[in-house]
Amino acid sequence: MTLRKIMIGRTVVKQSNLESMSVDELWILHEKLRAILSAKLDAEKHQLERRLAQLNGRSGERIGRSRRPYPKVHPKYRNPERPSETWSGRGKQPRWIGALLRKGMKVDDLLISRAH
């Protein structure tokens, strides 16, 4: 068996010492290694995220993109059978519009009049 030196933190441990350790001592060593490794990986991840943000032209900002604020869209169409149902004309067409169109109505018949 060859002797190897393993550096853990600032402690040098020889492989022969590891083989002579009890299970409890090895487990404590394992926990120390896990804590050191976790801290180093977190630090490296943080550094890489900062570098990525700099490459993308955003220094100090969060990495995720924020949505731009959109103005409130007023309804453009109203269901004559149920006036509380409205639609702005954006997005997926509501079912009540499809049902009224199948009955023979036109989309222009559902427009909300704009009195100025």
Q: Phi, psi (5° rounding) for residue 19?
A: -70, -25
Q: What is the mean pLDDT of residues 49-63?
A: 74
The model's pLDDT over 64-114, given as tens digits with 9 standing for 90+, comes to 667 888 888 999 999 999 999 999 999 999 999 999 999 999 999 999 987
Other Cβ atoms closer than 10 A to 77 = 20
Q: What is the mean pLDDT of residues 6-24?
A: 74
Domain count, the chain: 2
Same domain, 47 and 89: no
CA angle at 85 for the pair 108 and 94, rounded to the nearest 5°: 70
Give the residue numbers spanning the domain of 39: 5-55
Same domain, 51 and 81: no
Same domain, 81 and 50: no
